[in-house]
Structure 1
């Protein structure tokens, strides 16, 4: 029996549940729900406007100020870097100009020393050449004189041997000189 009663109670409860609306959509509770909604909204608005939003605003303002300061510092550092680059380029250009001037000066000094050395060597060579030419001329003149003497001796000996005539030394020398001048004229 108890089982029958509990089954009937369950069936009655199910019927009542089917007739009743979902409590948030039940019009009898709308007034209390709107009241609590207004109170919750007012508390949430008060907390947000007085406590949370000022903190967020100040954090945003601090961040904005920090970013502005960082941008100003970056601009200052960029100016310093630009000035450093200009100074570096100027010093590099000065160093190049100085290196070119030193190089030109060294080249001019080397050319001057080279020209002095060449002039000294040419003077020395000219002196040696003149000395050598003088020795050659002296040796040639001595050789020619010796050849003249030998030619005169040979001419006298040949004339004596072939013709049986005795020729004086000066006559033989004048005959050799005449032949030499004829050869030189040709």
Structure 2
């Protein structure tokens, strides 16, 4: 690069510009000569074989720096984020499992309470039925006793009324018999004799 610059400088100092196109031709010629003096290996620098060692050197340097950056900064942060995510998922799973266990325990407790309530209701119903049956039996026995007493009293009253009626019938019959005998025979018959006569006939 320095040789081409020197050639360009010499060409500009030695040759006087006669016309407007002379300097441009001199510069182009000097540049061409400079490139030929450098060895003719110009072109795209990454494809130049002479620059491969420096490229490989800087590639190793940048790759090492990238590796250090990834291993010391990026990967630990990613691992931390993934670890926090994993811990959060495990905590959510454990919480869901605990809630599931609590729900199952609540359901079992509810079912047990419902079964106990049903058993208590059945026991109360049976007890109430038995108590009502006993009360009904007691009331029925008391009613039967009361009805028996009333029936006996009524029967005694009927018997007394019947006896009184029969007594009255005997007296009426005795009076009627005495009157009939008096009417037929013309003799007076006492009531006592008529009663005796009727009693003897009945016997």
TM-score normalised by structure 2 residue count: 0.55
Question: 1:152: Cα distance to partner?
Answer: 3.4
Aligned match of 2:133? 111
> In structure 2, which of residues 172, 181, 195 is the aligned counterpart of residue 150 of structure 1?
172
Conserved 8 A contact 1:152-1:173: yes
Question: 1:75: Cα distance to partner?
Answer: 1.0
Q: Which runs of 5+ in 1 are unaligned?
A: 1-27, 179-186
Aligned match of 2:99? 77
1:84-110 alpha-carbon deviations (Å, 9 max, x no partner): 321232233223212322332232122
2:80 equivalent to 1:58:
yes
Conserved 8 A contact 1:156-1:166: no
Inter-partner Cα distance in structure 2 for 1:78 and 1:103: 37
TM-score normalised by structure 1 residue count: 0.59
Q: 1:63 to 1:176 in 2, by over 3 A?
A: farther
Q: Which has the higher helix share?
A: 1
Q: 1:155 to 1:54 in 2, by over 3 A?
A: same
Q: 1:138 to 1:31 in 2, by over 3 A?
A: same
1:8-59 alpha-carbon deviations (Å, 9 max, x no partner): xxxxxxxxxxxxxxxxxxxx55838xx7xx79x9587875665345423421
2:195 equivalent to 1:173:
no
Aligned match of 1:141? 163
Aligned match of 2:52? none
Inter-partner Cα distance in structure 2 for 1:51 and 1:70: 29
> In structure 2, which of residues 112, 116, 126 is the aligned counterpart of residue 90 of structure 1?
112
Q: 1:165 to 1:75 in 2, by over 3 A?
A: farther
**129-138 or 50-59, which deviates more:** 50-59
Conserved 8 A contact 1:160-1:167: yes
| RMSD, matched Cα | 3.5
Q: Which runs of 5+ in 2 are unaligned?
A: 1-42, 48-54
Determine which structure has more spread, i.e. the larger CA radius of gyration: 2
Question: 1:156: Cα distance to partner?
Answer: 4.0
Aligned match of 1:100? 122
